[in-house]
Amino acid sequence: MTKIILADSNEEYINTLKIRFATEFFEKIEIETITEKSYFEEAFSMPVQANVLIISNEWFDERIKRHPIENIFVLNDNKLSESTSFLGVSSVYKYLDIFDIFSEIVGKCKECFNFAEEQKETKVIVVTSAVGAVGKTAIAMGLCAAFEKSNRKALYIDAEELQTFHYLLNYKECIMRNDVYSGLLHKDDGVYEELKKEIRKELFYYIPPFKASLLSLGIEKEVFLNLVERIINEKDYDYIVVDTDSSFDLEKMKFIDVADRVVVVVTNEEKACFATNIMLDNIANVGTEKFVIVSNEIASLESNYLTGVKLPVKETIERIEDSAKIQPNEFCSNKGIQRLLVQVL
Query: What pLDDT score does 49 carry?
Result: 92
Query: What pLDDT score does 118 carry?
Result: 56
Cα distance between residue 184 and residue 179, in whole Å: 9
Helix, coil or strand: residue 4: strand
CA 226 and chain centroid, separation: 24
8 Å CB contact between 283 and 276: no
State the amino acid at position 321 in one-letter form.
E
State the amino acid at position 225 in one-letter form.
L
DSSP 27-44: GGEEEEEE--HHHHHHHT
State the amino acid at position 203 in one-letter form.
L
Residue stretches of the chain with pLDDT short of 50 = none
The phi and psi torsions of 100 (rounded to 5 degrees) equal -70, -40
DSSP 254-294: HHHHH-SEEEEEE-SSHHHHHHHHHHHHTSTTTTSTTEEEE
Q: Distance of CA 37 to CAs 11, 12, 34, 144, Å?
A: 12, 15, 8, 38
Q: At what angle do helices 11-25 and 335-344 cross, to 10 degrees?
A: 40
8 Å CB contact between 239 and 155: yes
Helix, coil or strand: residue 327: coil
Q: 216-258 pLDDT, tens per residue?
A: 999 999 999 999 999 999 989 999 999 999 999 999 999 999 9
Nearest to 340 by CA among 157, 125, 64: 125
DSSP 99-168: HHHHHHHHHHTGGGS-PPPPP-PPEEEEEEESSSSSSHHHHHHHHHHHHHHTT--EEEEE--SS--GGGG
Query: What pLDDT score does 302 carry?
Result: 62
Query: What pLDDT score does 336 carry?
Result: 83
Query: What pLDDT score does 214 carry?
Result: 96
